[in-house]
Amino acid sequence: MILEFLVKVLAFIGVISILVTVHELGHFLVARLCGVRVLVFSIGFGKRICGFKKNGIEYIIAAIPLGGYVSMLDEKESASKQAEIPSNLARGAALNEMSFLAKCSILLAGPMANFLLAIVLYWFLFVVGVGGPKPIVGEILESSKAEESGLAYGDQFVSVGKTEVRTWEGFIHAFVDAVLDEDEAEVEVITVKGERKGKIINLFGVSLDEVSEEGPFEVLGFRPKVIELEALIDKVIGGSPAQNAGFKPGDRVRSINGNLVESWSDFTQIVGSNAGNELLVVLEREGDQVDVLVTPETVQRGANKYGKVGVTVDLSEVWATETYGFISAGKLAFEKTAQMSVMTLKFLWKLINLEASPKNLSGPIGIANYAGESVKLGFFELLKFMAVVSISLGVINLLPIPMLDGGHLLYYSLELAIGKPLSEKFRQFGMQLGLIMLASLFLVATYNDILKLNY
């Protein structure tokens, strides 16, 4: 329990620190490019933990890892601050002295850096291959939306709306997008006979809250198909206990130590629980019975130990891996980032219109929990999680709320419209209002996280 808690905390700090660093680095680099004098580059808020000063810029790591900031020279303090900078170092202009375009570029650079990071992460994932179970329909409940739409057992989803789906993860993202946007979803499936068919799923009355609380499968009234794979060896890893024992591709496992093996899950369960113990395995090979002795090697996974012999099963019928070339992966990564950004905006609009409950918001505890679970699922899952959070961070920072980048953009736009700087009193009021709004959202999200932990 303590180890799991530490993993979640460390994963949260690691993910947030990376995303905040990327965000603030966007502001920092474009500010320097525009000739603005940067005073402080901070990762985190609150008390300074450590840091250093170089070329008149102070680089800080602070105690609270929930954000960061880049402090730039203001025209009111320009003369005094410039005087503090040694003559041999480059001096810069105050942010307020810059053109409207330059100020907007500096502010937009932070969110754009987060979107760019998401594109890079998705790009990498699409190149190396993103795997997941194929979206194949299992049991269908009577009088459900799935039954009404004509879905049948064994149908495999090909697309939802205009979005192609290859895995259940892709299906869920596309389905949530459809719920946010339409009263019906056009889907295309491949039937068990191999025919492509289009179907319409009625989403009238389906809310995001319902999908969030019950799950998409419960809302639609079907379950993903449960597929028990045969214990048929697909590959034998070189130098593994299985190769040394004489396993060969195409072998079918019939029994282990006299226990009948009917599926791949039976095989992995017995092998996994017998790390270091010699096993008598009965194989069927080209119609003949072959007996082999194998001792599973010990593999450490967290605090637990498992047995492994070094064989794989053919997952092609139930598992899809999205692998693309470098150029096509880049295009898909851009489209994926755009899709997730639009979904986030739709969700926020539903919140504002009171069409979605604030219960769907997640705060630091929820993010930490998801980060910890992603770490347990593997490196690629963690990268996918980072991409999603990076997109959310980018979108939220563009909202026209004082204290956020979007709020500052609103200020600059108002100043351009009225032709003079906003009063200090107006700015202070806006900052206080923004602080109240953000603190309220933070408290609601954290409260939701605590409630979910109690469940």
What phi and psi, each to the nearest 5 degrees, are found at residue 74? -105, 145
pLDDT in tens, 126-164: 888 777 888 999 999 988 999 999 999 999 999 998 888
Is the pLDDT at 208 greater than 50? The verdict is yes
What dihedral angle (degrees, nearest 10) is formed by the CA atoms of 103, 105, 106, 112? 150
d(C-alpha 125, C-alpha 329), whole Å: 8
Q: Report the pLDDT averaged over residues 104-129.
A: 92
Are 256 and 243 contacting, i.e. CB atoms less than 8 angstroms apart? no
User: Of 224, 99, 55, 202, which is closest to residue 143 (Cα–Cα)?
Assistant: 202
Are 370 and 378 contacting, i.e. CB atoms less than 8 angstroms apart? no
Reported as a pLDDT band with limits 50, 70 and 90, residue 214 is confident
User: Of 209, 154, 155, 148, which is closest to residue 184 (Cα–Cα)?
Assistant: 148
User: In the structure encoding, which two tokens stand for residue 96, read together?
Assistant: 């307020």
Are 104 and 34 contacting, i.e. CB atoms less than 8 angstroms apart? no
41 Cβ neighbours under 8 A, 6+ residues apart: 24, 28, 57, 58, 59, 60, 70, 71
pTM, two decimals, is 0.72
CA distances from 352 to 227, 271, 395, 421, 449 (A): 42, 53, 15, 30, 20
Q: Are strands 259-260 and 252-256 parallel, antiparallel or unpaired?
A: antiparallel
Q: Report the pLDDT averaged over residues 349-371.
A: 71
Cα dihedral sign for 373, 311, 322, 380? positive
Active site residues: 24
Residue 90's pLDDT is what? 47
Query: How many beta carbons lie within 10 A of that of residue 61, not counting itself?
Result: 15
Tokens 């025919």 belong to: 195
d(C-alpha 408, C-alpha 436), whole Å: 16
Is the pLDDT at 79 greater than 50? The verdict is no
pLDDT in tens, 405-446: 888 898 888 888 888 887 888 888 888 887 887 777 777 777
> In percent, how much of the chain has pLDDT > 90?
29
d(C-alpha 442, C-alpha 387), whole Å: 21
